[in-house]
Amino acid sequence: MSGATRDFDRAVVLGGAGFIGSHLCDALLDAGTAVVCVDNFCTGRWENIAHLTEAAGFELVDHDVTDPLPDLGPLDVVFHLASPASPAAYYRLPIQTLRAGSLGTEHGLQLAERYGARFVLASTSEVYGDPAVHPQTEDYVGHVNPIGPRSVYDEGKRFAEAMAFAYARKRGTSVGVARIFNTYGPRMQPDDGRMIPAFITQALADQPCTVTGSGRQTRSICFVSDTVAGLLSVARSSESGPINLGNPVELTVTQVAGLVAEIIGSEAGISHIPAVVDDPQRRCPDISRAVQRLDWRPLVQFEEGLKQTITWFADQTDSRG
């Protein structure tokens, strides 16, 4: 069922100091919602939320969500984004990643249940693994290697989805599961191993963009303001999902590298490095469900989002001297 829209007096953002979480905190505060940001800074950064610390209605709780959450007081919605998200981060923190998906999800659900709040899970397109169908609809159950190096993330999120649906079925918790596809924008970390920050950092240093494998593998990339708008739409609806949030425009990794180099004006070109284990060859969301049930679709053109992201990275490079 869709349609119901809600506005929130008070929201909790687990993982609010991260890349997407900090933009979500910004958007909620802009809409007049008080925000409790819970984060242990294992992959997030203080700088992402430094501008909010004096803002009216913003509260920061330094806490690991794999430990039971303190009573945070009455609230309307819990967003669970607390998880290492980039391959570099979850290779470094494999056990913490599984715990964030499992224990962290249950703690978030318990908090939501206590106040009759809605629970929104930031799940991922990685639940589809290396998909055998294109584009991926929410009905596709995935092609995941349960013991590969990426499994800590993929299976952690699959467990998180199962936990959210178990709470919905058994305890009547209002849950919304969003399957986010690759998101990019300002506040990504330059060294997190994902292609956009990697290519931008390389091109700004006039070094070749390193493309893994053939470079013909595709990605669909969504600008962060669109992803945040999607998460808010899921929260305001009564949809349990899962709902894909992503940009269905499919680009090859080589195309992305070329465009980054072109906008920056780097002459260093592209170099190829070996493919990584279990790297999906195609990734493209079918977003019909989000369009039909939430009236959500991405609005920011790739080139426009890329320019904003490049500007932010260039400013960071300048301010570091």
Q: Measured from the CB atom, is 84 or 176 closer to ligand NAD? A: 84
Where are the strands (E) in 199-257, listed by range?
A: 209-212, 218-220, 222-223, 243-245, 250-252
Q: How far is the CB of 75 from ligand NAD (least distance, A)?
A: 17
- Residues from 148 through 207 that contact ligand NAD (CB under 6 A): 180, 182-183
DSSP 3-state assignment of 123?
Answer: strand
Q: How far is the CB of 222 from ligand NAD (least distance, A)?
A: 8
Using H for helix, E for strand and C for coil, what is the string for 260-318?
HHHHHCCCCCEEEECCCCCCCCCCCECCHHHHHHHCCCCCCCHHHHHHHHHHHHHHHHH
- Choices 81-89, 200-208, 282-290, 291-299; region in contact with ligand NAD by CB under 6 A: 81-89
> Using the rule CB under 6 A, is 131 a contact of ligand NAD?
no
Please give the structure tokens belonging to residue 215. Answer: 């470079």
User: Any idea which residues carry the catalytic annotation?
Assistant: 153
Q: How far is the CB of 42 from ligand NAD (least distance, A)?
A: 4
Q: Are the beta carbons of 225 and 160 closer than 8 angstroms? A: no
Please pick, from the candidates 105, 124, 174, 218, the single residue that binds ligand NAD as defined by CB under 6 A. 124
> Using the rule CB under 6 A, is 44 a contact of ligand NAD?
yes
- Choices 78-86, 211-219, 267-275, 301-309; region in contact with ligand NAD by CB under 6 A: 78-86
* Contacts with ligand NAD, 12-41, as mask; x by CB under 6 A: ---x-xxxxx-----------------xxx
> Using the rule CB under 6 A, is 43 a contact of ligand NAD?
yes
How far apart are the C-alpha atoms of 231 and 210, rounded to whole Å? 32
Cβ neighbourhood burial of 285 (10 Å; 0-12, 13-18, 19+)? buried
Q: Measured from the CB atom, is 100 or 209 closer to ligand NAD? A: 100
How far apart are the C-alpha atoms of 284 and 270, rounded to whole Å? 23
Q: How far is the CB of 31 from ligand NAD (least distance, A)?
A: 19
- Residues from 263 through 302 that contact ligand NAD (CB under 6 A): none
Q: How far is the CB of 47 from ligand NAD (least distance, A)?
A: 11
Q: What share of the chain is helix, strand, coil (3-state, %, to 5)?
A: 40, 20, 40
How far apart are the C-alpha atoms of 196 and 192, rounded to whole Å? 10
Please give the structure tokens belonging to residue 319. Answer: 């301010």
Q: Measured from the CB atom, is 268 or 316 closer to ligand NAD? A: 316
The residues of the shown chain that bind ligand NAD, judged by CB under 6 A, are: 15, 17-21, 39-44, 64-66, 81-85, 89, 100, 104, 122, 124, 180, 182-183
